[in-house]
Amino acid sequence: EPVLELRGIEKVYLRGEAGEVRVLDGAECRLTPGEMVALVAPSGAGKSTLLHIAGLLDTADAGTVAIGGTDYTTASDRRRTVARRRDVGFVYQFHHLLPEFSALENVVLPQLANGVPRAEARTRAEELLDRVGILPRATHRPAALSGGEQQRVAFCRALANAPRLLLADEPTGNLDPATSETVFDALTRLVRETGLAALIATHNLDLAARMDRVLVLREGRLVPQ
């Protein structure tokens, strides 16, 4: 069964004098477990809007959103929030790690919020940080880490609660090409080892080409490249 299934997604924004802007116009996709899919489009094409709808942060004007075979299109806010916290991990261009906490704590805290006992949460956090080569830096606060290290911690935090779906919005957008490669390799390892599905918006066509598939967002639709 697909991890994520979007069908006929439409989204219209009202923009004052400019009237309606139809950002998504029949967008569809289907992600299966273990798949890494690139989402490519120019700025302003609607990538963030699509990721927010897929991650149950925003609602579409039409179409359906299913995660793990469950349709959330008309679900209550409460059910959508529960599903988002359990099934979806987010990564952004800027890491949004909590500055007062260590890298380790940043990966532990979302698990505590989900009711995982501290010892178990710590073990899982250490495993995740180890897989991306950051364990030796685990006690440092984000400010003491490089940009690439911060993003690797952000991936670990996104995966802390073992989601089915990872949604990433320009996760290497703020990094130089060499660091982007390192961060992407770490992400690939995490996706391959956990079997989750990842939809990754990127402007980096070299990285996009290394994923399983590329979807181009064009005129509000997702077109296979």
Does 90 bind ligand ADP (CB under 6 A)? Our answer is: yes
Nearer to ligand ADP, 52 or 181 (CB): 52
Residue 63 C-beta: closest distance to ligand ADP, Å: 15
72 binds ligand ADP (CB under 6 A): no
Nearest one of 170, 162, 168 to 33, comparing CA atoms: 162
Among 46, 68, 148, 220, binds ligand ADP (CB under 6 A): 46
Q: Which of 119, 207, 125 is nearest to 171 (CA)?
A: 207
Residue 57 binds ligand ADP, judged by CB under 6 A:
yes
| Pair type for strands 62-67 and 70-71 | antiparallel
Q: How many CA atoms lie within 13 A of 162 on its CB side?
A: 8
Q: Which stretch binds ligand ADP (CB under 6 A): 36-44, 127-135, 139-147, 189-197?
A: 36-44
Q: What does the block give as tokens for 59?
A: 């609602």
Judged by CB, which is closer to ligand ADP: 84, or 124? 84
Residue (of 57, 55, 46, 56) closest to 13 by Cα position: 46
Asked if 144 is part of the footprint of ligand ADP (rule: CB under 6 A), the reply reads: no
Q: Which is nearer to ligand ADP, 22 or 181 (CB)?
A: 22
Phi, psi dihedrals of residue 42, rounded to the nearest 5°: -65, 160
CA–CA distance, 108 with 161 (Å, rounded to integer): 9
> What does the alpha-carbon distance between residue 135 and residue 140 come to, in Å, rounded to a whole number?
10
Of the pair 48, 204, the CB lying nearest ligand ADP is at 48
DSSP bridge pairs for 147: none
Cα–Cα dist 168/21, whole Å: 24
Q: Does 80 bind ligand ADP (CB under 6 A)?
A: no
What are the tokens at 120?
Answer: 């178990």
Contact between 47 and ligand ADP per CB under 6 A: yes
Q: Is 101 in the site for ligand ADP (CB under 6 A)?
A: no
Q: Among 9, 36, 38, 45, which residue sits at the site for ligand ADP (rule: CB under 6 A)? A: 45
95 in contact with ligand ADP (CB under 6 A): no
Which of 44, 99, 115, 136 is the binder for ligand ADP (CB under 6 A)? 44
- Nearest in space to 157 (alpha carbons), one of 115, 200, 216, 113: 113
Q: How far is the CB of 11 from ligand ADP (least distance, A)?
A: 8
**What is the binding site for ligand ADP (CB under 6 A)?**
13, 15, 21, 23, 41, 43-49, 57, 81, 84-85, 90, 113
